[in-house]
Amino acid sequence: MKILIAEDDRFIGEGLCDLLEAEGYTPHLARDGEEVLKLYQRLQPDMLLLDIMMPKRDGYSVCREIRKRNDSIPVIFISAKSEEIDRVLGLELGADDYIMKPFGKREVIARIRAVARRCLERSGVSATPGEVLEFGDLTVYPDELRARRGDQAIELSLRDVKILRLLHQQRGKVVTRDQLFNACWGHDYLPSSRTLDQHISKLRKLIEVDAKAPKIIGTVHGVGYRVEQ
């Protein structure tokens, strides 16, 4: 799961990156509001951790801008502000949670996981508690954002789970590129073949025994993808 962190305090930002990386996430750090928007467009992250008081553009302004482009991406505000009005404003802007500084490591990880689970339920990706998706020797647990092959645990992003669930539902059928974009990126997202191909390539590296000879996600050239297992 790619998480974009917006934090102008170098020590806090790097500390969050180290913490999330140790938990299996892929963190990216921005130090001001304008850099957040540039990285968001380039990285298409799965979640945002937004500090409120940042140079150039504050967290509220950044959240408003990103919500115009994507109203479903999980957003967690992180701030030293403690007034109730600030929390209310943050939540009214579409934030999924609010973490106050100073915070503990366990709190941050627990809140990220809780928000990710709620977003899965909201999007219909994990409609049934305890649901599992079987792909040969690979088992996907949507509500954990995780897959397992034997003793190996594989961390997945929200979008990874959406893709796998759609392919699993259409097992044996071709899922077109437009279907994948609409279900996993959103109807308002401007499609890019490169974006989809790159994401599928990264997903294969996570879940396939041999990404160069995929057995789970097969390519149907010129159309889309198909799951056979």
CATH of the domain at 157: 1.10.10.10
Convert the pLDDT of each residue in 85-125 to its tens digit.
566 666 667 778 888 888 888 888 888 888 877 766 665 55
Determine the pLDDT at residue 160. 86
Which residues are CB-contacts of 13 (< 8 A; sequence separation ≥ 6)?
5, 7, 29, 31
Looking at the structure, tell me whether residues 15 and 34 fall in a common domain: yes
What is the average per-residue pLDDT within 6-32? 86
Asked whether residue 118 is domain-assigned, the answer is yes
Q: Is 128 a domain residue?
A: no
pLDDT (average), residues 130-145? 87
One domain for residues 46 and 90: yes
pLDDT tops 70 at residue 41: yes
d(CA 56, CA 60): 12
Residues 147 and 98 reside in one and the same domain: no
pLDDT at 220: 93
Please determine, for residue 130, whether its predicted confidence score (pLDDT) is greater than 80: no
Q: Are residues 194 and 161 in the same domain?
A: yes
**CATH assignment at residue 11:** 3.40.50.2300
What residue numbers bound the domain in which 6 lies? 2-123
Q: Are 97 and 6 found together in one domain?
A: yes
Do 185 and 221 have their domain in common? yes
**Amino acid making up residue 51:** D
State the Cα–Cα distance between residues 217 and 229, nearest whole angstrom.
9
Residue type, 189: Y
Are both 13 and 89 inside the same structural domain? yes
Does the pLDDT of residue 191 top 60, yes or no? no
For residues 14-38, give the mean pLDDT: 87
Mean pLDDT estimate for the chain: 83
162 with 223, same domain?
A: yes
| Same domain flag for 13 and 105 | yes
Residue 162 within any structural domain of the chain: yes
Q: How far apart are CA 43 and CA 131, in angstroms?
A: 29
Length of the chain equals 229
Q: Is pLDDT above 60 for 187?
A: no
Is the pTM higher than 0.85? The answer reads no
For residue 41, give every residue at least 6 positions away whose Cβ sits within 8 Å of its Cβ, in sequence order, or none. Answer: none
Phi and psi dihedrals of 117, rounded to 5? Answer: -65, -40
